[in-house]
Structure 1
Amino acid sequence: MLAARPPAILAAEDASVLHTILDDPLVPDRTRSIVRRKLTEAHAIATEVPGDVVTINSRISFRLGDGAPISAFLVDLVRPLRSFHGMIPLRSDVGLSLLGLREGSRVTLDLRNVPTTLVLKRVLHQPQRQSRAIFGSTASRSGSDSKACPSVA
């Protein structure tokens, strides 16, 4: 029996970016279809995203098929760059497939009409995780507990 694939987890900000992509008249139909499927199947959360989930601007390590691990940033580029070394465009099949995956997750892509397995090895850096490390958890802060910053004379 095949194990059920856990749904992708989308940060609210990332889901908003995907909705913006749907509104872009220059986005190809194939990309729109992938974005719609991601929005339908993923679990969008407004609270903290686990640190092992790929979000936009995360630095990740993944593998395509039997290839060597690739380390790159997942970025939303409206205009394509000449070189993508070290960056995976969100609007690509690989980028959209990576968004919302958890470490260890596998998905099968159709790259150039060849089924290819994509495996997320690690989330090396996630902006939300970095923010929590600096500012603390939003769950541990509340309006009644927050301390005012002292005024500077």
Structure 2
Amino acid sequence: MVISSAAAILDKPYVSDLRRELGNATTVARLEVPGDVITINTSVRLRDLDPSKTETLTLVDPEETCVAEGKLSILSLLGAELLGRRVGEIVTLKVCRRELSKRIEKVTFQPERVGAFNLQRVAIFTPLTMSDLDCPCRFESTGD
């Protein structure tokens, strides 16, 4: 039996955790979202704690994911962990039997802060199709 990539993503434990978190979330009016909270279409600067280096990413819908442009799906392991977090928090991920820790240093853009509500998408958990996963930007394995 072949399992589609979309189904494989939606079956990841962290996606279930994200759904549970969203189910327990408090709804806040867009104008009341604090400026240091990570929402969809927010650009954020992260610092790896070991080794120390920074990167800037934007959380996006799965169909907008493009690693080369720094666009990270909210359904990825890191994206799901960042959604709803605040500046100063540390997220720790288990990847390939090791832990990666990143500190949220700065929200460099947040749609709610500048009134760019046209960037917001309401349906986060719309069923994915294979075309949603197509992107010319792909992770390349480095053998690490």
Indicate the TM-score class for this superposition, using the shorter chain for normalisation. Answer: 0.5 to 0.7
Do residues 126 (structure 1) and 110 (structure 2) align? yes
What's the Cα RMSD here?
Answer: 2.4
Q: Deviations over 1:42-79 (max 9, x none)?
A: 64332211001110001110123324111121111237
Identify the structure with bigger relative contact order (alpha carbons < 8 Å, sequence gap 6+).
Answer: 2
Alignment match, 1:78: 63
| Structure 1 partner of 2:17 | 34
Find the residue that maps to 1:35 and give its secondary structure.
helix
Q: Does the CA contact (< 8 Å) of 2:65 and 2:71 recur in 1?
A: no
Does residue 44 of structure 1 match 2:29? Answer: no
**TM-score normalised per structure 1:** 0.59
Q: Which runs of 5+ in 1 are unaligned?
A: 1-23, 133-153
Query: 2:15, 2:75 within 8 Å by CA — same for their partners in 1?
Result: no
Sequence identity of aligned pairs in percent? 31
* Aligned 1:2-151 pairs, distance under 5 A: 25=7, 27-39=10-22, 43-47=25-29, 48-66=32-50, 67-78=52-63, 81=66, 83-131=67-115
Which structure has the larger Rg?
A: 1
Supply the distance in 1 between the matched residues of 2:35 and 2:64 (Cα, whole angstroms): 28
What amino acid maps onto 2:26 in structure 1?
A: A
Q: Deviations over 1:9-58 (max 9, x none)?
A: xxxxxxxxxxxxxxx85622324323234325x64332211001110001
What one-letter code is carried by the residue in structure 1 that aligns with 2:56? Answer: S
Residue 136 (structure 1) aligns with? none
Return the letter of the residue paired with 1:46: V
Q: How many residue pairs end up in the alignment?
A: 107
